[in-house]
Amino acid sequence: MITVATWNVLHRVHAENWYEDVAARWPDESERIAAISARVATLPDRIIALQEVSGDQLASLRNALPDRMIHALRYPRMPRPRHGPTALRDRTEYLVLVVEGPGREIAAESFEDDPGKGALVVEAAGLTVIATHVTGDRRRLPQLSRLRGLADAEPQRPAVLLGDFNVDRTVVAECLGPDFTVAEFAPGALPTRPRTSGTKSQFIDHVVMRGAVATRSNVDNADGLSDHNPVRATLSLAGD
């Protein structure tokens, strides 16, 4: 058994550009960053994937989690403020995997059609672990195909994909194929990406497995720290 989690922590520039309530709720970004790092430090999960991590946030995580291995992919795209100076000192953006115990980085790449989205692949706990952030339009199809290829590169090893897929579980399952299972949430679970308007799914952050089974999955309340809520799951591997 192994526990995993995924959380889009909302890059400050994206919050400022799109007038997210989070930016207004946390006028001092350094306080939000510290609170996010503290929250991640309390998560008991062995593997944690984080999306939209700023350079400031990454530095805070490294300070707050000295006993964990932190893998990071820096995107080629630099988020650009649209409404004046940002509150960040370092506005670079990262995809991050926080791992308890040893981990070996296998691949780290932005997608060819989106320099601000990508995949970070690490071997840890007997798994191929893929942290990802997928684009929310038709570009998702080749991106999901690439994710499937990364997961299947070593087919003898179970794989878990953790991330913000920007689409509901049905589409993810259809695109990845029958060898992959997308964890289901219990009825009444909190949305992973709450919305007050629009028709997009509110369940777009997922734990996806090949060669493993989710025995429990749930959505925690982010308590206003991000526009996404953390998703956590317990996985059972073959032989457990």
Q: Where are the alpha helices (DSSP H) in the chain?
A: 12-17, 21-25, 29-42, 55-64, 140-151, 169-176
118 vs 143: CA distance, rounded Å: 8
105 vs 90: CA distance, rounded Å: 24
Residue 97, both tokens:
């995997």
Q: How many domains does the chain have?
A: 1
pLDDT at 240: 64
Mean pLDDT of 223-232: 97
57 vs 93: CA distance, rounded Å: 9
Q: pLDDT tens digit string along 91-120?
A: 999 999 999 999 999 999 999 999 999 999
pLDDT at 199: 80
Domain containing residue 225: CATH number: 3.60.10.10
Could you tell me the residue range of the domain that residue 19 belongs to?
2-237
- Per the DSSP assignment, residues forming a β-bridge with 210 are 159
Helix (H, G, I), strand (E, B) or coil at 231: strand
Q: pLDDT tens digit string along 125-180?
A: 999 999 999 999 999 999 999 999 999 999 999 999 999 999 999 999 999 999 99
